[in-house]
Amino acid sequence: MPSQRTLVQTPVQTLAPRHYRTINWVGLSTLYIKEVRRFMSVATQTILAPMVTTLLFLAVFVLALGHAVDKVAGEPYMAFLAPGLIMMAITQNAFANTSSSILISKIQGNIVDLLMPPLTPLERTIGLAGGGLTRGIVVGIATWVAMVPFVPLSAAHPGFILFHAVMASLLMSLVGVLAGVWAEKFDHMAGITNFIVTPAAFLSGTFYSAERLPPLWQGVAHMNPLFYMIDGFRYGFIGHADGSLTAGILVLLGANAALLWLTHRLFATGYHLKA
């Protein structure tokens, strides 16, 4: 009588927490897909808009200065400018993705959807940063494609392009997570964007060659992580770097490791997230 046996045995089982292996793959991929869908559903604003504004920047600077610039780093001004602008679009959008995701969740009160699911702090960090990373790369590719008809862009060192794109995008996604966790109002985020992110991006050597700056400003430029992102990324295209490439790679690896650790700590302790 097998059927009787099952009847007897079922009530004895107690509820136990669900067990996952080292990584909760279903949960992680769900978070990641949610983050990607969040920006893909408004692609006009999240991909097309940055593409257009980047092209406008290119047009403005080429129109304003292009006629007076001889050559920068042995390249026409446009070819020098284009990689920096692509990188600027990558960093700004990677930052925007994670920071807005967390801040909006906090304001709308659905941040619990991130905190309640059975995800470890590491999985949360990776899921969120992965979304920002993807947005940065997608915007970068879109901007690149949009520029091709205007600027002859050859890839001198594809490895450098890829490495710096991924590292920069990851770095700014993590900074975005930190900013999103810290900020409580849209005003705070506008402040961070206006006072830190945009100035850092603008004064990073996108528009000019840091080599030709006075020594003081060169020193300031070298303190800016965005300088290394843009410099290495541009090296991938035109084969010329203003600063040390090794230093750049080390800075990016170190900064990403430190930010990953910090983000992990914040999620683990629940800073500004769990009351």
Partner 1 sequence: MNHVARPVTTALQARRFGLVNWIGCWSLLRRQFKNGFSDLHYTILGPVISNALYLLLFVIASSSLTQLDPKALVAFIAPGLISFSIAERAFEVSGANLIYDKHERIHFDWLMAPLTPTERAACFAISSTIAGMMVGSAVALMTLLFVPATVAHPWALLFFAAATGMMHGLIGTLLGIWAAKWDQYTALHTFVLLPLAFLSGVFAPVGTMPETAQHLIAFNPIFYLIDGFRYGAIGKAAADLHVSAAVAIAVNAVLFAWVHYWLRTGYRLKS
What is the contact surface with partner 1 in residues (CB under 8 A)? 42, 44-45, 48-49, 52-53, 56, 59-61, 63-65, 67-69, 72, 77, 187, 190, 194-195, 198-199, 202-203, 207-209, 212-213, 217
Which of 58, 53, 90 has the alpha carbon at shortest distance from 76?
A: 58
Q: Judged by CB, which is closer to partner 1: 85, or 119?
A: 85
Q: Judged by CB, which is closer to partner 1: 104, or 213?
A: 213
Q: Judged by CB, which is closer to partner 1: 25, or 217?
A: 217
Are 144 and 230 within 8 A, CB to CB? no
Least CB distance to partner 1 at residue 42 (A): 7
Least CB distance to partner 1 at residue 108 (A): 15
Are 94 and 134 within 8 A, CB to CB? no
Are 160 and 82 within 8 A, CB to CB? no
Q: Judged by CB, which is closer to partner 1: 120, or 209?
A: 209
List, in sequence order, every residue forming a beta bridge with 75; answer none if it has no partner: 72
Phi and psi based region of residue 39 (left: phi greater than 0; alpha: psi -120 to 50; beta: remaining): alpha
Least CB distance to partner 1 at residue 109 (A): 19
Question: Is residue 21 packed enough to be buried (19+ CB in 10 Å), middle (13-18) or exposed (0-12)?
Answer: exposed
Which of 136, 139, 132 has the alpha carbon at shortest distance from 50?
A: 139
Least CB distance to partner 1 at residue 171 (A): 21
Least CB distance to partner 1 at residue 164 (A): 22
Least CB distance to partner 1 at residue 144 (A): 19
Q: Judged by CB, which is closer to partner 1: 1, or 68?
A: 68
Q: Judged by CB, which is closer to partner 1: 73, or 162?
A: 73
Query: What's the CA gap between 196 and 26, in Å, rounded?
Result: 36
Q: Judged by CB, which is closer to partner 1: 198, or 269?
A: 198
CB neighbourhood size of 270 (10 A): 12
Cα 107-110-112 angle, rounded to 5 deg: 120
Query: What's the CA gap between 200 and 177, in Å, rounded?
Result: 17
Least CB distance to partner 1 at residue 39 (A): 13
Structure tokens at 125: 């960090």
Residue 261 Cα distances to 27, 162, 175, 232, 268, angstroms:
21, 23, 12, 24, 10
Least CB distance to partner 1 at residue 249 (A): 26
Q: Judged by CB, which is closer to partner 1: 25, or 202?
A: 202
Are 254 and 260 within 8 A, CB to CB? no
